[in-house]
Structure 1
Amino acid sequence: MSQQAKESLIKYESAILVSEKNDKTIEKKATKRPHNKLPPVVAEPSKANQVIEEILNAIIPPKEWTEDGKLWMQKVSSTPATRLEVIALQESLDQKLQVRKARETGICPVRQDLYAQTFDELIRQVTINCAERGLLLLRVRDEIRMTTTAYQTLYESAIAWGMRKALESEQGKADMEKKIEVLEEDKKDLERQLQELKSKCEFIEKRENERRAHEEKKHAEEVAFLKRTNQQIKAQLESILKKN
């Protein structure tokens, strides 16, 4: 049963057998203990140890599990920690961070869990020596957890928003690429029409130039013919006038 304590950096007492039978009534009753209700801190020495145990159980609820049809429970230790145990806690934290390959930066559930266990163990040690200080640290712990949860929710929301915007951007990019393809086709069609109109204009201009040249030539020939005719008539008139 000591394996249950080794899995955590928090120091627990030895596991105790709650029920030898798999009695669901007992198990349900055990799991419904009001661990989160903190007892008042009293100054009477006769009740001090009991109050500290109740505070510890409220701060760090006992572990409960069923094994081979038996209900076991393991409470947090109420034994004060020595200086060597604090040093060992630091070494255990560093070792577990390496063994479990916790990331040094960013959001890491492994690192967060190990540091939370360490903080709970420190609260346990402080509470044994000074219950009021332990309760104040409990408030700090709960506030840190609430703030961390809020930041994590905000981070996840930001990630979701970023992914949604990225998808929208990709969709918009695809739509824009299709629109560009359509515009490119329209451009090619307009360029083809422009080329046809240019060819048509050149053909009309050439035809009009040829027609104008033909008309000018014809007009020049008519003018020359009229001049010759006029000269002939003039000559005939002069000849007749001389004879008379």
Structure 2
Amino acid sequence: MAAATSSPTAPLHSLVKYDNPTLVAKSSSNHDKTPGKAAVGTHDRPQLARPGSDKAHKLPPVDDKGARAKSPTPTEDILNSILPPREWDDHGQLWVQRVSSTPATRLDVINLQEQLDQMLQKRQARETGICPVRRELYSQCFDELIRQVTISCQERGLLLLRVRDEIRMSIAAYQTLYESSVAFGMRKALMAEWGKADMEARTKALEDDKRALETQVAELKAKCEAIEKREAERRAMDERKHAEELAFMKKTNLQLKTQLEGILAPQKK
């Protein structure tokens, strides 16, 4: 809703409604160097009020009705304090664009909503999550709403200004907290990365020990199997030898028994 300007280089488009830019000062090169006609330099430029400066408009308290009745503050001054004028230099010419003090209509609010949607789509703002573009556009939209409300009711506009400042302060605190958490996470990641080499070396050493122990176990198993096989062969050999000796002794016993019976038989007769 920025007003159209005839200046060659205008600032970026904003959802806040501004008046037409005005030429404040020109450089000495743009003036005729004739006697009696002084060039306007930078020291001749009017000093604009900036937020936080000594020359900024000091707003009266909201509840100070008596002071406001005696010396009412113009709406333009309050608007310039809430939304400072924009200024830019173009080829040595200082242009200033103040916020508009024209009351807003219902159509202006509808156009503001449409422009907000168009700018969100045009600048490809993300619908969810952290998005600086979406935050900037909604901040401009809120400033425009404050401008519209301030024109109709200064007290309500000042109260919305406090709400805006509180929101910005909360967002700044959240941003600081987010940056601190990111830094903490980075430190933890670096610490984990530093300990990763030691853990990898320890893991490699344990794996080497494991392979050595597995080799030793395999050797002991092979030795045990060899011993069991040798003992089994020896036991089989002993059993076979014992069986042969037993058979031989039975045969010898049978022969001796037969001979003894042959000797004893004639004597019985």
Name the TM-score, length of structure 2 as normaliser. 0.65
Tell me, in whole angstroms, the C-alpha distance in 1 between the residues paired with 2:49 and 2:157.
24
Q: 1:25 matched to which residue of 2?
A: 43
Tell me, in whole angstroms, the C-alpha distance in 2 between the residues paired with 1:35 and 1:127.
21
Contact 2:24 2:46 in 1 (8 A): no
Counterpart pick for 1:13 among 14, 19, 23: 19
Unaligned 5+ residue runs, structure 2? 29-40, 63-67, 231-269
Q: 1:178 matched to which residue of 2?
A: 201
Tell me, in whole angstroms, the C-alpha distance in 2 between the residues paired with 1:110 and 1:77.
24
Tell me, in whole angstroms, the C-alpha distance in 2 between the residues paired with 1:193 and 1:139.
78
Q: 1:39 matched to which residue of 2?
A: 59
Contact 2:49 2:56 in 1 (8 A): no
Q: 1:137 matched to which residue of 2?
A: 160
Q: 2:35 matched to which residue of 1?
A: none
State the aligned residue count.
Answer: 204
Tell me, in whole angstroms, the C-alpha distance in 2 between the residues paired with 1:64 and 1:5.
8
Q: Secondary structure at the match of 1:182?
A: helix
Tell me, in whole angstroms, the C-alpha distance in 1 between the residues paired with 2:79 and 2:101.
8
Amino acid across the alignment from 1:143: E
Q: Secondary structure at the match of 1:72?
A: strand
Percent of aligned positions that are identical: 58
- The answer to which structure has the higher helix fraction is 1
Instruction: Give deviations 1:1-34, integer Å, cap 9, x for gaps.
Output: 7274770000001101110127333459447665
Q: 1:153 matched to which residue of 2?
A: 176
Contact 2:57 2:77 in 1 (8 A): no
Instruction: Give deviations 1:182-204, integer Å, cap 9, x for gaps.
Output: 1121233345566778889999x
Instruction: Give deviations 1:127-162, integer Å, cap 9, x for gaps.
Output: 011101100000000000000111122122222322
Change (3 A) 1:36 1:106: farther
Unaligned 5+ residue runs, structure 1? 207-244
Tell me, in whole angstroms, the C-alpha distance in 1 between the residues paired with 2:56 and 2:171.
20
Q: Does 1:91 align with 2:114?
A: yes
Q: Secondary structure at the match of 1:145?
A: helix
Q: 1:121 matched to which residue of 2?
A: 144
Tell me, in whole angstroms, the C-alpha distance in 2 between the residues paired with 1:20 and 1:121.
30
